[in-house]
Structure 1
């Protein structure tokens, strides 16, 4: 399965958000508007080994999957001492589409997942050894998890319940170790805090819009959320995991079992929060993915604990049988999806295909290169971060590429090459209808239409792009914060999902 993920990572075109994070890896800033910086560090590690290639960008995701599996195996081994339960914990992620295949696609969630699991692992080691120093390791991993993605904060209730619900609560309330762990987490998270302090807390305000946005009740977004969980975790595996989490929570809170409380609460709280948000907002496809590894561990532990807790034989046999069916059918499904994208020549989903929907940019790049040579333009302008990222990925900074609006995204980025821009003609490349954006009214640019380019995948047109020659204007890299060229869309009140705005193939098919 790891070899399959390596092939997938090498063969499939980069998606726009992956290219966007790759641009971050080329910058030397402490943090970024959209997310904390660890994903940029991951990509920098991979490209240092394999260069600026698809595999280089994605390699850290392959490693993250393996690390996550090893940690899950050790968690279950220490709790159950049952090799069959350990095997289940290792195989469950392989049977889930997101982990078995799509962790090869880098995102902040890919960085968050191994650190979140490592924090849980450190607390399991604490329970097993009764050595309070494991709190300190948990603090390091918690800080790295927060430095990967802010949603790591949703694990805090699980840690609090782990600390306060069992009978050992008085020991930890008076011990310095949990508080030192919290301090360590803050220190590790300090680069993000420093960057935000320097930039008017931009990341926190940006993400707060999502967390506090109020929209009308929508059953469709609820269906999207539930459908995505079935698609990305597994149509059979998801019920197996949820039932295991429920029984683990029942055992943990009833008996004061610290590990059971930790594992189950690490799933229940985020799952409930995202369900609540889905009542009025489309939950991104990757947002909940950090919680399911704890669910896999809980389900594997639960299967080992059922006979020890005196459950009837029929229930034990049924649970084991469903787990086996979930793993076998899930792995078959993951392999089938892999073959569809890597081997098959068809497009069965049309424009809704999440991989094909972001493929084919080389067609746009080819025409852009031709127009650069024909018009004498020396730089490229865009008006959306996806096009910016893909153009920068393909041109590899041989030509300066600038997103002229939403400049708040690029705080602290290096000079893209203003000497090649100032006083020279530019080439605008924009997805229709982005080329009619009102931001152009804030500029003095003279726009000359050149041509329209279709981007297609397996015979289906995914998008159309307008190419225009720009003269009479030099873009401003650092416009005033009240300028329409500065504000990111979410901060400007246009609430949207960043990066993962297309449902995955299974959820799209269900819809």
Structure 2
């Protein structure tokens, strides 16, 4: 068995194990709950990840964590194979391909976020690697006799990338930049293939445009607003880069940036490395630049599609150094693998057995927290049912934050409509807007334990609003969150200013 196949199998099995041990994170639960509603697109992101989740639940009849994560685990296995295939073809070195694939699997932002969680990043990374492969073939950097097929493959993967996550478009920019800056490649700008490939990508993206047109361009506005702000923060890019390095692992991120800078320095004279550098450039630079003025929080994984394009360069560099004799480098790689495996074992066992609370008491997790969001609220429904609170005809469940909506919706198995009584409703403002439930009884659940304040705030929205005894959620036998519970009748609707 080849080392690459062994890598794919072992890492896939490890992800399946982690998927069965860990509950769904906040974003995962939200996506799973909302994926019951099949739409052309969605408020937060384009639809591919939601469609995959919907398909997994429809085929199996289950929304268990390991089931809904399975499509993403399989896609990352394909991504691992593609990374090795691309690197091997570019540098004519199977060892370089293996090291590129291994290092990608050792980087937390890829092996976790993209590799096994219900998030758009997994489909995006797989589509982008497919786009990179077909771009290399279409431009002749990798020998290929089927140029039309390669250009159509590039267009197909570009469309799938845009259907996965908006920031995928930042990587796609690299191909026209390459065609414009490499003299031997400019001939393609006068031929129909790249233009037809671009048209194919646009056509595949059409569901997102249609959905946005039907919903007042809500998703485009939401994502575009993240670049808003009018303040000058000269040191913000360093914070962004530090966060990105932490997510990738600093001793992997720094070499990635160094090989990227070297490829930029070589320029079009080394077209293969130049193409990889251009594919990475916009995502790597853009979010750091935006942080100079943006008042919004820049999430560190947004640039990950860019650094993904640099692993072939790093794999080739690692292979070259190991062939020259670099025992320290080999020890670093082995140490990184051990570090990642130990970290996964600690996190996985904690999320399954909650040994931190057993060893140090429940306070170690922080009062009122959701344990980093990785705990399912499995005992919510039994407790509500035991109190008889779910028997009210026409009952609607209300929460005060969108990130609680997914947790509640998932815990209740989608059996009750869940709505958000807040300005930021995300997809719940589309599939279950509060004002759709005028006159209906509501059960209001919130982690805020100041029940008197909650009752005073929301009482004007109901004919009656009565407080119920708080509800304590438990994680592996230990309390980790207390919910306030209020029962309302005759919902009046949200005031116009609160309707998203």
> Shorter-chain-normalised TM-score: which range?
0.7 to 0.9
TM-score (norm 1): 0.81
Question: Structure 1 442/373 Cα, relative in aligned 2: closer, same or farther at 3 Å?
Answer: closer
**Counterpart contact for 1:97–1:234, Cα < 8 Å:** yes
Question: Structure 1 241/329 Cα, relative in aligned 2: closer, same or farther at 3 Å?
Answer: farther
**Counterpart contact for 1:442–1:484, Cα < 8 Å:** no
Aligned counterpart, 2:7: none
Distance 2:297 2:433 in 1: 36
Does residue 40 (structure 1) correspond to residue 58 (structure 2)? The answer is no
Distance 2:237 2:331 in 1: 27
Aligned counterpart, 2:398: 381
Q: 1:339 aligns with which of 340, 345, 349?
A: 345
Q: 2:497 aligns with which of 484, 503, 507?
A: 484
Distance 1:218 1:448 in 2: 50
Q: 1:118 aligns with which of 123, 127, 130?
A: 130
Q: 2:285 aligns with which of 272, 276, 285?
A: 272
Aligned counterpart, 2:311: 296
**Counterpart contact for 2:419–2:433, Cα < 8 Å:** no
**Counterpart contact for 1:351–1:357, Cα < 8 Å:** no
**Counterpart contact for 1:172–1:178, Cα < 8 Å:** yes
Question: Structure 1 383/333 Cα, relative in aligned 2: closer, same or farther at 3 Å?
Answer: same
Aligned counterpart, 1:399: 416
Aligned counterpart, 2:80: 69
Report how many residues are paired.
467
Distance 1:93 1:65 in 2: 10
**Counterpart contact for 1:72–1:90, Cα < 8 Å:** yes
Q: SS at 1:35's partner residue?
A: coil
Question: Structure 1 358/73 Cα, relative in aligned 2: closer, same or farther at 3 Å?
Answer: closer
Q: 2:471 aligns with which of 444, 449, 453?
A: 453
Does residue 89 (structure 1) correspond to residue 92 (structure 2)? The answer is no
Q: Give 1:343 deviation, angstroms.
A: 2.2
Aligned counterpart, 2:36: 26
Q: Give 1:62 deviation, angstroms.
A: 0.5
Distance 2:390 2:282 in 1: 57
Distance 1:303 1:247 in 2: 15
Question: Structure 1 369/216 Cα, relative in aligned 2: closer, same or farther at 3 Å?
Answer: farther
Aligned counterpart, 1:390: 407
Most deviating of 227-236 and 131-140: 227-236
Distance 2:370 2:242 in 1: 15
Does residue 198 (structure 1) correspond to residue 214 (structure 2)? The answer is yes
Does residue 162 (structure 1) correspond to residue 178 (structure 2)? The answer is yes
Q: Give 1:237 deviation, angstroms.
A: 1.6
Distance 1:469 1:236 in 2: 53
Give the 5 Å matches for 1:225-374.
225-251=240-266, 253=267, 255=269, 257-279=270-292, 280=294, 281-303=296-318, 317=324, 323-344=329-350, 345-346=355-356, 350-351=365-366, 356-359=372-375, 361-373=377-389
Q: SS at 1:452's partner residue?
A: strand
Question: Structure 1 43/272 Cα, relative in aligned 2: closer, same or farther at 3 Å?
Answer: same
Specify every segment of 5 or more residues in structure 2 that has no aligned partner in the other structure, as ranges. Answer: 1-10
Does residue 129 (structure 1) correspond to residue 146 (structure 2)? The answer is no
Distance 2:370 2:462 in 1: 37
Aligned counterpart, 1:428: 444
1:27-52 CA deviation, whole Å, 9 max, x = no partner? 12211111111111121233245421
Q: SS at 1:469's partner residue?
A: strand
Aligned counterpart, 1:505: none
- Give the number of the structure with larger relative contact order, counting CA–CA contacts within 8 Å between residues 6 or more apart: 1
Question: Structure 1 415/97 Cα, relative in aligned 2: closer, same or farther at 3 Å?
Answer: closer
Q: Give 1:325 deviation, angstroms.
A: 3.9
Distance 1:109 1:155 in 2: 13
Q: SS at 2:485's partner residue?
A: strand
Distance 1:91 1:201 in 2: 40
Question: Structure 1 422/18 Cα, relative in aligned 2: closer, same or farther at 3 Å?
Answer: same
TM-score (norm 2): 0.83
Question: Structure 1 96/354 Cα, relative in aligned 2: closer, same or farther at 3 Å?
Answer: farther
Question: Structure 1 260/343 Cα, relative in aligned 2: closer, same or farther at 3 Å?
Answer: same
Does residue 179 (structure 1) correspond to residue 179 (structure 2)? The answer is no
Aligned counterpart, 1:494: none
Distance 1:101 1:453 in 2: 32
Q: CA RMSD in A?
A: 3.3
Q: Give 1:64 deviation, angstroms.
A: 1.8
Aligned counterpart, 2:491: 473
**Counterpart contact for 2:384–2:390, Cα < 8 Å:** no
Question: Structure 1 432/273 Cα, relative in aligned 2: closer, same or farther at 3 Å?
Answer: same
Question: Structure 1 458/217 Cα, relative in aligned 2: closer, same or farther at 3 Å?
Answer: farther
Distance 2:439 2:459 in 1: 20
Aligned counterpart, 2:4: none
Distance 1:330 1:282 in 2: 29
